[in-house]
Structure 1
Amino acid sequence: MHNQDFDKYQQAFADLEPFSSTDGSFLGSSLQAQQQREHMRTKVLLELEKVNQRLKSAKAKVTIRESNGSLQLRATLPIKPGDKDTNGTGRKQYNISLNIPANLDGLKTAEEEAYELGKLIARHTFEWNEKYLGNEALKKDFKTIGELLEEFENEYFKTHKRTTKSEHTFFYYFSRTKRFTNNQDLATPENLINSIEKIEKEWARYNAMRAISAFCITFKIEVDLSRFSKMPENNSRNIPSDVEISAGIIKFADYLNNRGNQVNPDVKDSWQLWRWTYGMLATFGLRPRELFINPDIDWWLNEENADMTWKVNKECKTGERQALPLHKEWIADFNLRNPKYLEMLAITISKKDKNNHAEITALTQRVSWWFRKIGLDFKPYDLRHAWAIRAHILGIPIKAAADNLGHSVQVHTQTYQRWFSLDMRKLAINQALSKRDEVELMREENAKLRMENERLKMEIEKLKMEMVYKRS
């Protein structure tokens, strides 16, 4: 997109602050996209009023109207071939569609076409040709998926404010649409549906649907993907216990002791940064990119940060928040406030374009690579799931846990409680039973104390009676 075009669309979004979805689901993303499309439509309609005012001042006898995402020319014209002259005037008002999209570029084109049509009307030279009959638009060939992918970014950001979040979202849509479709296929609803149907794995099919849905909305391809829109219920995960998490961090030091001597001096200490990343993910239940997008390192190391919260930047997936640790002792145990590791983080992200979605994604993929390298049998996101399950076991209210993880109660309930393994359920039940046993023990102790208290009262009464008897 040329800078001038980019500025035009992004300036239209200058007064919009996209609301932060606390729902990472397809629904949450769709609501954000809808908000931005409606904002841009409002801007286009306001600009349309100005265009029509200019046409009126120029006595062009043509106006422009918006209909279903397209712009039409409206004018009183000679009766169209095959149409009836109901008024007997030989003229009638028509809406002419020239397949012009209702966006800022389309307005410019529509205004030019309106002046051209106005001249034909003024000179009495208008004729119903292929262009004005709409036959040219009907004969328009479908483009290939590959051709539309080349235009995808330009068109997408005509209806979305460009931020770190929206860049990442677009990269998600673009990469998955490209991966799961054939570039040579025509961009027809049938071909796009066939691309999704060929995908065997449920989660891959669901993710492809999300991406292709955004692709179709951008290019106004009418297709019904609703039968693919249900989130899969099952997905195998290995959720680590607290003991396994503590054991896992030791594997980073084991790697240091077992690696060979052929190590690049420039990266020989890099394992410490990824161990720190591991500890932060486990302690706070963060999404990996929430450590790399504009981290507030000064706040994390500040002595005034008594609650030891990690500030998630507003450019992250679900907006800004302060995440609290669940096992605060892990901060000391895992040495998470060691300035050396934070300096390594600062240097690493300074080498990257912090607003480049691909580079941030590369960092998060690096985290996964290290998990595999040191032999962990769980993934970075499994630490987030473990945090959610641990919070549930500890009796933390769902709303508080969901807010701390930066998503809705609905997502928390539907997504995270699904991962309760047999071992986790045993742990939860045993802890609950243990608490019950503690309560029963306290009741027994209280009963014993009450009995002892009664016995002592009787002893005192007995002693009082004996004292009275001796005096008498």
Structure 2
Amino acid sequence: MINQGKDKYQQAFADLEPVSSTDGSFFGSSQQAQQQREHMRTKVLQELEKVNLRLKSAKTKVTIRESNGSLQLRATLPIKPTDKDTNGTGRKQYNLSLNIPANLDGLKTAEEEAYELGKLIARHTFEWNDKYLGNEAIKKDFKTIGELLEQFEEEYFKTHKRTTKSEHTFFYYFSRTKRFTNSKDLATAENLISSIEKIDKEWAKYNAARAISAFCMTFKIAIDLSKYSKSPENNTRNIPTDAEIAAGIIKFENYRNSRGNQVNQNVQNSWQLWRWTYGMLSVFGLRPRELFINPDINWWLSEENTDLTWKVHKDCKTGERQALPLHRQWIEDFDLRNPQYLEMLTTAIAKKDNTNHAEITALTQRVSWWFRKIGLDFKPYDLRHAWAIRAHILGIPIKAAADNLGHSVQVHTQTYQRWFSLDMRKLAMNQAVNKRNEVEVIKEENIKLRMENERLKMEIDKLKMELVYKQS
């Protein structure tokens, strides 16, 4: 990633507090991106006003205006060769488009061009040439996708505040655009759409379209990707039951017992870290990276942490939160507060730069690798889905469950609840029926107890009367 330094674009974002979002969806990310684009446009317009004041003070007969993301020079010039002199003055006001982007770098270029044009006007030496007719911009060849990818990061962060989260988002866009396109193709809408159409898997096509959309927006490539904007419905997941999750933790130790003797001494106990990771994902429903980005290990092991919460760092996808556990007993059963495992976590992340999305992604991919290695038939994210379903079965309010997972109620209901399998529905309904039956049994027992109580009272009253009769 580019060193931030004192980049003027990031300085312009210094007073921006991105809208908070507990929505990790594309919609939530788009809201934040739109806010940042509008913020940067406001900054550019403020600077534009200062530039025009300088031009006015210098008595330069040229101003600069913004139009559709580009900067134009406005001046009164001799009539174009192709225009008619309707007023008979020989002069007319024109807006000159020189293909200058409306950003902070573009303002510097536009100001220089304005002074240059002002000199030509003052000396009466202005002539209509390809530059001022706009022919140079028309003649300009399209760049290849590869050439634009080289500029992607620099241009992207001219309209986005650089944070750990935005770095991660950019890496998502960059890596998928690079993966699914041909770098030698010209960066035209036709070629980019063709790249998407060649993708077989619907989810890969959807993710590629999201990334290419951001790529095109950055370079102002007109493209219509609305056809791919709806997330596919045909994805399948294998959501583990609680019994399967408990059985899964044992597979890590089975791996240790069954592996060969040719194991590097430096990593022979590394399986314990990934077993710990598996347990934490199961108990808290975390995203894997929420264990690796600046984990508050001291808090997790602290005696003050009586609620046994895991603190998710603010640099994670949907900001900071404290996640509460489901099945607290698993924390003890899986030995998740063992300092030895936390030391291993510290060592693992110490080798990584938490601001580098590629390195964090490598850790999360390692989690998936271990799932496959020990023979689990579900994936790390399936544990997150299992947490959401378990919360539903236990009757936890949707808002509380959504907040605990770090996303919106909309995402919770639309994304997670659709993985409610037939077995899960049976379990939920049976539990509800059993719960109702338990209530009915309690009611019946209460009625019997009241009747027994009345009978005993009658017996007591009868004994009292007999005692009084004998005494009399």
Q: What is the TM-score of this pair, normalised by structure 2?
A: 0.97
Give the aligned partner of residue 386 of structure 1: 386
1:371 and 2:344 are equivalent in the alignment: no
Kindly state the Cα deviation for residue 454 of structure 1 after the two structures are TM-superposed.
1.7
- Count how many residue pairs are aligned between Structure 1 and Structure 2: 472
RMSD of aligned C-alpha atoms? 1.4
Trace 1:2-401 onto structure 2 (pairs within 5 A): 7-401=7-401
**Where does the alignment leave 5 or more consecutive residues of structure 2 unmatched?**
none
Identity %: 85
SS at match of 1:75: strand
Question: In the alignment, residue 18 of structure 1 is paired with which amino acid?
Answer: P
**In structure 2, C-alpha distance between the alignment counterparts of 1:294 and 1:94, rounded to whole Å:** 55
Offset from partner CA, 1:205-248 (integer Å, 9 cap, x none):
11011100000100001111111101112311111111111110
Partners of 1:80 and 1:185 in 2: CA distance: 37
Change (3 A) 1:370 1:389: same
User: Residues 28-83 of structure 1: CA distance to partner in whole angstroms, max 9, x if unpaired?
Assistant: 11111111111111111111111111111111111111111100001111122222
Give 1:371's aligned amino acid: F
- For residues 182 and 37 of structure 1, the distance between their equivalents in structure 2, rounded to whole angstroms, comes to 28
User: CA 1:165/1:96 → structure 2, altered by over 3 Å: closer, same or farther?
Assistant: same
Compute the TM-score of the two structures, normalised by the length of structure 1: 0.97
* 2:4–2:10 CA contact under 8 A, matched in 1: no
Tell me, yes or no, if structure 1 residue 431 matches structure 2 residue 431: yes
Alignment partners' CA distance in 1, 2:89 and 2:357: 61
C-alpha distance in structure 1 between counterparts of 2:320 and 2:3, whole Å = 29
CA distance in 1, matches of 2:456, 2:84: 111
CA–CA distance in 2 between the matches of 1:69 and 1:93? 21
Q: Which moved more, 1:316-325 or 1:21-30?
A: 21-30
Shift of 1:4: 8.5
Three-state SS of the structure 2 residue aligned to 1:265 is: coil
User: Which letter maps to 1:223?
Assistant: I
Deviation at 1:5, TM superposition (A): 8.4
Alpha-carbon distance change, 123 to 5 in structure 1, aligned in 2, over 3 angstroms: farther
Shift of 1:332: 0.9
User: CA–CA distance in 2 between the matches of 1:6 and 1:94?
Assistant: 37
2:146/2:184 contact within 8 Å kept:
yes
1:318 partner SS: coil
Cα distance in 2, alignment partners of residues 84 and 441 from structure 1? 96
Cα distance in 2 for partners of 1:130, 1:196 equals 37
Mark the CA change 1:4 to 1:344 in structure 2 (over 3 Å): closer, same or farther. Answer: closer
4+ residue segments displaced more than 3 Å: 1-6, 467-472
Structure 1 alignment gaps of length 5 or more: none
1:91 shift after superposition: 1.5
When residues 394 and 4 of structure 1 are mapped into structure 2, their CA distance, relative to the original with a 3 A threshold, is: closer
Cα deviation digits, residues 170-199 of structure 1 (max 9, x gap)? 111111111111112111111111211222
Partner residue, 1:416 = 416
Give secondary structure in 1 for the equivalent of 2:11.
helix
Counterpart AA for 1:141:
D
